[in-house]
Structure 1
């Protein structure tokens, strides 16, 4: 299995950010920044996620974030530092995407509304103190964005997913919002929905990062 490595990355402004990454065995197709609720301490599930994406050819990296005190500025600064790390590794800007799972799904939408990336994907997402409401920023997307949501616990669950879809459709980039009725915000209660969401994620990056 692809192994993960944790490093301390010093950004140009002198700040240090802990990053955990996984490298493909072969040619690097591009880079993916993974935003995840467990990134403060890399858990087994996050390690498997990084390894899985690396297995598809992506240099995959997650910044360690303090989810309990996360502000939009903190998120964007950490993402910028992570993007800088990818650039230093030779990944071209148009081959970089961001993907977020669970609470990281909200973070990915925030990033995709404030930074121009090759593609972005949100799988689930909840309201996060310190970050904007999803429907208020979806129309300002500046990166092609795919959002996939279940029901239970999701800010975008139920009828609100339609509002999010309508808001995203007003952006000047490609967007797609998919609703999985009955799936929870982690997608762990519906293996079929989880498998389809994973394939949609890979397809989105395949289509936009090339």
Structure 2
């Protein structure tokens, strides 16, 4: 596993954006911004950052909870505390933080066509929205929420944003999600002028990654997607 570190970048509003990063040990193929789930930069998110670096990608995960007093959630945080943090997020601030993360990659000499974004749950939602507003190499949404109903008044539902995708996008969902909503997301993404794909996995529980075989196959698909489009 690649070594992970955390550094801070000062922002124009006086706050600092923390970035959890990992660098490849050999040649750097490109860079990927990893957008965290609702509980923040968890061990699972750190595992994604490390795994991407192990495959040759410079990986950076911005800590989106930094403009409030309770900037970091913990494993002991309640569902209400998590929901409160999500509710405090502002779409413009999120976009600014993502831009900072992409700028960090650019400062490390990664060209925009070799930059990607990967998000899980809350981060999966953000990944699609960012891919509809910014131009870079490829995007992956894993279990992104708000397909037909926006999780926040300040952002569109995913089916409304998907036709505006500017780069190749892969969506990964489980059978536990609303199948009709996922199909509408597939159709909406297909209206964009770029390559898109939606994969649905069987689920033993709430998420497809409850099944190790599905999780392993999905991870391979993510790596293949970046390998195919970040050139």
Fold conserved between structures, TM > 0.5: yes
- The answer (yes or no) to whether the contact 2:175–2:208 under 8 Å persists in 1 is no
Q: Give the deviation of 1:38 after TM superposition.
A: 5.4
> Match of 2:52?
53
Residues 86-142 of structure 1: CA distance to partner in whole angstroms, max 9, x if unpaired? Answer: 111111111100001122111111111111110000111112324321111111111
Q: Give the deviation of 1:183 after TM superposition.
A: 5.8
RMSD across aligned C-alpha pairs, in angstroms? Answer: 1.8
For the residue of structure 1 that corresponds to 2:227, the secondary structure is: helix
Gaps of 5+ in 1: none
More deviation, 157-166/77-86: 157-166
- The answer (yes or no) to whether the contact 1:39–1:63 under 8 Å persists in 2 is no
Q: Give the deviation of 1:181 after TM superposition.
A: 3.6
Gaps of 5+ in 2: 66-84
Cα–Cα, structure 1 residues 92 and 170, in superposed 2: closer, same or farther, change >3 Å?
Answer: same
TM-score by length of 1: 0.91
Q: Give the deviation of 1:39 after TM superposition.
A: 6.8
> Match of 1:170?
191
- The answer (yes or no) to whether the contact 1:31–1:95 under 8 Å persists in 2 is yes
Q: Give the deviation of 1:49 after TM superposition.
A: 1.3
Cα–Cα, structure 1 residues 118 and 96, in superposed 2: closer, same or farther, change >3 Å?
Answer: same
Q: 2:115 aligns with which of 96, 99, 106?
A: 96
Count of residue correspondences: 206
Q: 2:218 aligns with which of 167, 173, 197?
A: 197
- The answer (yes or no) to whether the contact 1:39–1:62 under 8 Å persists in 2 is no
1:134 paired with 2:158, answer yes
Q: Distance in 1 between matches of 2:140 and 2:51?
A: 16
